Amino acid sequence: MKFTVKQIAQILEGEIQGDESIEIYNLAKIDEDAKPGSISFLSNPKYESFLYLTNAEAIVVNQGFKPKKKIRATLILVKDAYTAFSKLLDEYAKRLHPPKTGIEAPVFTSKSAVWGDNFYLGAFSYLGENVQIGKNVQIYPQCHIGDNVVIGDNTTLYAGVKVYHNCVIGSHCTLHAGVVIGSDGFGFAPQPDGTYKNIPQIGNVIIEDHVNIGANTVIDRATFGSAILKQGAKLDNLIQIGHNVEIGENTVMSAQVGVSGSTKIGKNCQIGGQTGFAGHIKIADGVRIAGQSGIISSIKQEGLTLFGSPAFHHNEFMKSFVLFKKFPEIAKRLEQLEKASFSSKKGTD
């Protein structure tokens, strides 16, 4: 598969500086791995040195970029190089792996299930009663779509996704392999004899438009009402979301985050890997949380950066960490002071 620089510039709505007729065969990083016939991008200034050494024949850069040395490659100037290159990757992927259509065999589809144009259903999949599926939906092999599930247009479910009954998935969503939507929340009532009685979870999960969920992530259904992932949320692999949780618009989570039941996380939050949230708390909009943090109480102030377990303000954490590293030295000095004080008292006696 090949593009000319001119074709790529048209896709990206960019301005060309150099030879527009160059043919591009693949996409590559800007470092020494790039080969002739490749296109790359530069968005972070700290990688600018590679621009003068790379073998890539075309580079996507931000408008207004002024090189410090002569560049062999042709430049494509765009508003945002990172976003533009993502768009190019998307276009390349569509051509490399075009969407499938049709229903493979064997599958089970209930008589009441309906779907739109250009639908693909992979082998060994199951569509329950009253399932409603939009157009251009891709459901790969071994997926289970329970009764009364609704799936919007242009959504993709990769192999092995399980969507329990009554759940709703919006348009332009991507659920990667092994995702489970709508499993029971962790609700058990302790009994006098020491056993636990299961509490039925009769709510559902609602996933709004443009949500991405990584492989083997689990979203529990609500006990009542709905657990909600709002528009534009992005979840990494291996994340656990408890019952009744709400995640705000455009919030992103790295792998192995755990969110306990009934917690509400605001919009535009950034949450590092292995962060744990206690239940029944609220997180304000725009909060950033470093990896492996523990959030045990509500965060009411917007835009904070937090670190630690239990987490507190990042600046205070770093100051405390400096002292923590000095504890052995401080302890030694205290011991010396105590010895000196004891010797002084003994001499006085």
19-45 per-position pLDDT tens digit: 999 999 989 888 767 888 999 999 988
Please name which of 113, 148, 108 lies closest in space to residue 126, comparing C-alpha atoms: 108
| Residue 283 and residue 145 in one domain | yes
pLDDT tens-digit profile of 326-339? 778 878 888 888 77
- Cα angle value 150/156/158 (rounded, 5°): 110
- Looking at 78, 96, 114, the residue that finishes a domain is 96
**Which of 27-36, 99-108, 167-176, 208-217 shows the lowest per-residue confidence on average (mean pLDDT)?**
27-36
pLDDT value, residue 97 = 85
User: In angstroms, rounded to a whole number, what is the distance separating the alpha carbons of residues 29 and 92?
Assistant: 15
pLDDT value, residue 32 = 66
| Residue 186 and residue 249 in one domain | yes
User: In angstroms, rounded to a whole number, what is the distance separating the alpha carbons of residues 149 and 115?
Assistant: 12
Has residue 312 got a pLDDT over 60?
no
Higher-pLDDT residue of 174 and 99 is 174
pLDDT tens-digit profile of 238-276? 999 999 999 999 999 999 999 999 999 999 999 999 999
Please name which of 34, 27, 139, 127 lies closest in space to residue 87, comparing C-alpha atoms: 27
| Straight-line distance from the first to the last Cα atom of the chain, in angstroms, rounded to the nearest whole number | 93
**Which one is catalytic: 144, 176, 210, 243?**
243
Higher-pLDDT residue of 96 and 292 is 292
Estimate to the nearest angstrom the gap between the alpha carbon of 192 and the chain centroid. 42
pLDDT value, residue 265 = 98
Backbone angles phi, psi at 272, to 5 degrees: -75, 165
Strand-pair partners of 312: 307
| Residue 189 and residue 257 in one domain | yes
Confidence of residue 342 (pLDDT cuts 50, 70, 90): low
Cβ contact 223:204 at 8 Å: no
| Residue 162 and residue 218 in one domain | yes
pLDDT tens-digit profile of 270-281? 999 999 999 999
- Looking at 72, 96, 120, the residue that finishes a domain is 96
Has residue 51 got a pLDDT over 60?
yes
User: In angstroms, rounded to a whole number, what is the distance separating the alpha carbons of residues 46 and 10?
Assistant: 28
Confidence of residue 196 (pLDDT cuts 50, 70, 90): very high
pLDDT value, residue 317 = 67
pLDDT value, residue 344 = 66
User: In angstroms, rounded to a whole number, what is the distance separating the alpha carbons of residues 113 and 139?
Assistant: 14
Can 243 be counted among the known catalytic residues?
A: yes
Q: Which residue has the tokens 């937090």?
A: 306
Strand-pair partners of 26: 38
SS (H, E, C) the chain: CCEEHHHHHHHHCCEEECCCCCEECEECCCCCCCCCCEEEEECCHHHHHHHCCCCCCEEEEECCCCCCCCCCCEEEEECCHHHHHHHHHHHHHHHHCCCCCEECCCCEECCCCEECCCCEECCCCEECCCCEECCCCEECCCCEECCCCEECCCCEECCCCEECCCCEECCCCEECCCCEEEECCCCEEECCCCCEEECCCCCEEEECCCCEECCCCEEECCCCCEEEECCCCEECCCCEECCCCEECCCCEECCCCEECCCCEECCCCEECCCCEECCCCEECCCCEECCCCEECCCECCCCCEEEECCEEEHHHHHHHHHHHHCHHHHHHHHHHHHHHHHHHHHHHC
| Residue 183 and residue 257 in one domain | yes
What is the arithmetic mean of pLDDT over 102-111?
Answer: 97
Quick check: pTM over 0.95? no
What is the arithmetic mean of pLDDT over 150-173?
Answer: 98
Q: Which domain, by its residues, includes 326?
A: 322-348
| Residue 217 and residue 328 in one domain | no
Higher-pLDDT residue of 155 and 318 is 155
Has residue 152 got a pLDDT over 60?
yes
pLDDT value, residue 328 = 80
pLDDT value, residue 262 = 96
pLDDT exceeding 70 applies to what percent of the chain? 93
What CATH number is associated with residue 204?
2.160.10.10
| Residue 158 and residue 209 in one domain | yes
| Residue 117 and residue 69 in one domain | no
Has residue 290 got a pLDDT over 90?
yes
| Residue 127 and residue 40 in one domain | no
Number of domains into which the chain is organized: 3
Has residue 76 got a pLDDT over 80?
yes
pLDDT value, residue 96 = 82
Confidence of residue 347 (pLDDT cuts 50, 70, 90): low
| Residue 69 and residue 128 in one domain | no
User: In angstroms, rounded to a whole number, what is the distance separating the alpha carbons of residues 97 and 119?
Assistant: 16
- Looking at 67, 96, 125, the residue that finishes a domain is 96
Has residue 310 got a pLDDT over 80?
no
| Residue 87 and residue 106 in one domain | no
| Residue 279 and residue 331 in one domain | no
pLDDT exceeding 90 applies to what percent of the chain? 75
pLDDT value, residue 170 = 98
Mean residue pLDDT of the chain comes to 92
**Which of 69-83, 165-179, 257-271, 301-315 shows the lowest per-residue confidence on average (mean pLDDT)?**
301-315
Cβ neighbours, 10 Å, residue 243: 25
pLDDT value, residue 195 = 96
What CATH number is associated with residue 57?
3.40.1390.10
